[in-house]
Structure 1
Amino acid sequence: MKQLLQLCQQEEKKLHQLSQQKNASQQRLLEIAQQQQQLSSMVSQYHAYPQQCANPLLMQNSVQMINAIQPLQKKLTRQKILLEQEHQRVDKIWRSQLGRQQGINWFYQDRLKQRQAHINKQEQKQMDDLACRYQLK
């Protein structure tokens, strides 16, 4: 029974660790989405600058900035794809671990109930035996 309780505790720890990993990857995905949004906003702004004034130097700077931002956008997109795959992998493991942990916990609780029922039965038998002895005297 003690080993089963220890197993329940170990499985709970594993589930907790996986939950932390899952939350961390979700947080990182949100950060990447924010960064992508910021870069897209910057590109939009740089596209708008040359249209506002026809200064050739400003147009050249805008094009250079857009060209500098595009590799960052591609890098973030690759990171996001990889992170989404990792998040899905961790989520799958977490779901599996959750099922395992719940199954072991259910088994442990069932064993506790069976044990308590057995103890109750033994106590009732002892009480019946004592009642029978006192009744015969």
Structure 2
Amino acid sequence: MKQLLILCQQEEKKLGRLGNQRADAQTRVTENHKQRQAIDNMLNEYHGSSSHRVNPLLLQNNANLLSTLKPLQNKLDKQEVLLQREHQRMDGLWRRQLGRQKGLSWLYEQRKSEQRKAIDAQEQKQLDDLSSRYQNQG
């Protein structure tokens, strides 16, 4: 019984660690998405503004900026896919661990209940035995 309780506690700790890792993975996905959104906004802004500019230097600066942002956008796209996969992997691990932890907790509670019932039955038997002795003596 004691070992089952220790196992339950260990599984609870594992679940907590996996929950933290799962949350961290989600945070990385969210941060990457925000960066990707910012790059998209900048690209849209510079695409729109480049057609209105007639100054060759400003057009060149816009072209340079666009050529710098495009590879960054592609990198963030690839990174987003990897981060989402990692998050899905961590979510799967967390869900499996949750099932394991819940199952062990249920088993522990069942055993504890069975043990309580056995102790209650034993105590009741002792009380019945004592009661019958007193009745036989009296």
**TM-score when scaled to structure 1?**
0.96
**What do you get for the CA RMSD once the two structures are aligned?**
0.9
| Percent identical | 48
Deviations 1:58-81 (A, max 9, x none): 111111101001111111111111
Q: Which residue of 2 aligns with 1:53?
A: 53
For the residue of structure 2 that corresponds to 1:52, the secondary structure is coil
Corresponding position: 1:34 with 2:34: yes
Runs of 4+ in 1 over 3 A off after TM superposition: none
Which segments of 5 or more consecutive residues in structure 1 lack a partner in the other structure? Answer: none
Residue-pair matches, total: 137
After TM superposition, give the deviation of residue 83 of structure 1 in Å.
Answer: 0.9
Asked which structure has the greater RCO (Cα within 8 Å, sep 6+), the reply is 2
Distance 1:50 1:24 in 2: 39
CA–CA distance in 1 between the matches of 2:124 and 2:115? 14
Unaligned runs of 5+ in 2: none
What code does the residue aligned with 2:68 have? A
Residue 114 (structure 1) aligns with: 114
* Matches of 2:42 and 2:49, distance apart in 1: 11
TM-score normalised by length of structure 2: 0.96
Check if 1:63 corresponds to 2:63: yes
CA contact (8 A) 1:49 1:59 kept: no
